[in-house]
């Protein structure tokens, strides 16, 4: 039997959440011989959460806690035709892998799939969809001149909603080395650079956990500032790595957004950097949806008008 999928889970000191993620894979409606699970961790597992699973599971240890290193190890050891990324604090809908299998069989040219997601708060019982109720899936040529509809649909560049062809990931995985924190954006930009056909499936196949450790829900300004600074460093680095038009236009948009966020939080970012970000974004401005542009304009206005107001508003806007 062909091994269709490798589910790659990078885990850092969240054993209970990791166990729940694995439970969600036990509930998959696809034949469990069609996928394997790779867990890459940097801590000791105290319980027997890997025992008695209905699927093949392989566990690797990372010598450093960096998320990029865990993804590097996982991709290089994957055997499935496609790699499904799953953060250890998220879950898969029980229909996820069977739906992805159907998507791929319907269009074998697909290199990358992003799906929609639902949300649940830590401590709540997540509500899964009852069935695949949205039959249509949209396919995009990543090299086309107009990707604004795709940019509008991709769900926050959330890793747990992304699936990539193993051969492509493995060929270019060295680009991930040194990526700081924001692997969600990295993988989407990676897809725009190296994948020819990207599919968006509107079914909510990922269950995204909101919890107090998440950056966007934090009221800790030092934590938010630190994350925004790292995001800007990461995006600056990606400008040297990715050269296709759509990859660069997304990097430019995100750089502008993060500079505005950093300024609105009172981090050490100058207005000059925001202006330079806007100028770099201008050649691509028509590629984005009105919703994205309006959100960016609102953030820019807040960042220029009042840092104090922004410090109170920011955590609520970006939940």
Widest Cα–Cα separation across the chain: 60
Mean pLDDT of the chain: 89
pLDDT of 319 higher than 60: no
User: Residues 188, 250: contact at Cβ < 8 Å?
Assistant: yes
**Strand, coil or helix: what is 263?**
helix
Q: Where are the alpha helices (DSSP H) in 56-140?
A: 67-77, 96-106
User: Residues 88, 14: contact at Cβ < 8 Å?
Assistant: yes
pLDDT of 301 higher than 50: yes
Q: Where are the alpha helices (DSSP H) in the chain?
A: 15-26, 67-77, 96-106, 148-153, 166-172, 183-194, 221-241, 245-264, 271-281, 290-305, 307-317
Per-residue DSSP letter, 131: S
Which of 62-76, 127-141, 142-156, 248-262 has the highest average model confidence (pLDDT)?
Answer: 62-76
Stretch 239-256: mean pLDDT: 92
Q: How far apart are the first and last CA of the chain?
A: 42
Structural domains of the chain ordered from first start = 5-210 (3.90.550.10), 215-317 (no CATH)
pTM of the model: 0.91
Which of 36-50, 225-239, 262-276 has the highest average model confidence (pLDDT)?
Answer: 36-50
Least confident of 2-11, 107-116, 160-169, 281-290: 281-290
Closest listed residue to residue 189, CA positions, set 176, 203, 199 = 176
Residues pairing with 61 in the sheet: 41
């Amino acid at each position: 039997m062909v091994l269709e999928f490798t589910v790659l889970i990078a885990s850092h000191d969240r054993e209970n959440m990791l166990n729940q993620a694995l439970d969600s894979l036990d509930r998959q409606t696809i034949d469990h011989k069609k996928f394997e699970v790779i867990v890459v961790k940097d801590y000791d597992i105290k319980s027997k959460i890997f025992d008695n699973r209905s699927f093949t599971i392989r566990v690797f240890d990372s010598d450093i806690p960096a998320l990029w290193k865990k993804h590097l190890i996982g991709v290089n050891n994957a055997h499935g035709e496609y790699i499904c990324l799953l953060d250890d604090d998220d879950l898969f809908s029980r229909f996820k892998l069977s739906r992805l299998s159907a998507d791929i069989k319907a269009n074998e040219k697909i290199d990358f799939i992003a799906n929609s997601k639902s949300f649940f708060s830590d401590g709540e019982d997540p509500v899964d969809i009852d069935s695949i109720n949205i039959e249509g899936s949209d396919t995009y040529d990543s090299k086309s001149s107009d990707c604004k509809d795709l940019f509008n649909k991709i769900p926050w560049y959330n890793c747990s909603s992304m699936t990539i062809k193993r051969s492509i990931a493995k060929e270019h995985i060295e680009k991930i080395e040194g990526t700081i924190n924001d692997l969600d954006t990295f993988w989407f930009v990676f897809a725009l650079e190296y994948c020819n056909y990207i599919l968006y499936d509107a079914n909510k196949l990922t269950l995204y956990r909101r919890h107090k450790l998440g950056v966007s829900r934090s009221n800790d300004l030092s934590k938010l500032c630190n994350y925004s600074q790292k995001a800007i460093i990461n995006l600056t680095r990606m400008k040297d790595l990715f050269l296709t038009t759509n990859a660069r236009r997304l990097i430019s948009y995100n750089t502008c957004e993060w500079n505005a966020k950093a300024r609105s939080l009172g981090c050490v970012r100058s207005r000059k950097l925001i202006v330079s970000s806007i100028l770099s974004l201008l050649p691509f401005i028509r590629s984005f949806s009105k919703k994205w542009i309006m959100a960016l304009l609102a953030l820019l206005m807040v960042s220029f008008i009042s840092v104090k107001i922004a410090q109170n508003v920011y955590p609520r806007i970006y939940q």
